[in-house]
Amino acid sequence: MPMYNITLKDGASPDQLSKAKDDAKNQGGEIKHEFTLIKGFTVEFPADRATTLETNEHIHVEQDGAVKTQ
In a domain, 69, yes or no: no
Average pLDDT of the chain is 83
The total number of structural domains in the chain stands at 1
Measured distance CA(18)–CA(38) in Å, rounded:
13
pLDDT at position 66 is 63
**Which bin fits 26, alpha (ψ -120 to 50), beta or left (φ > 0)?**
alpha
In a domain, 27, yes or no: yes
Q: Domain of 7?
A: 3-58
CA nearest to 12, candidates 43, 30, 38, 37 = 38
Q: Which pTM value belongs to this model?
A: 0.77
**CA atoms in the 13 A half-sphere facing the CB of 41:** 21
The answer, yes or no, to whether residue 58 has pLDDT greater than 80, is no
pLDDT at position 10 is 84
pLDDT at position 51 is 67
The answer, yes or no, to whether residue 36 has pLDDT greater than 80, is yes
Q: How confident is residue 50, by pLDDT bands cut at 50, 70 and 90?
A: low
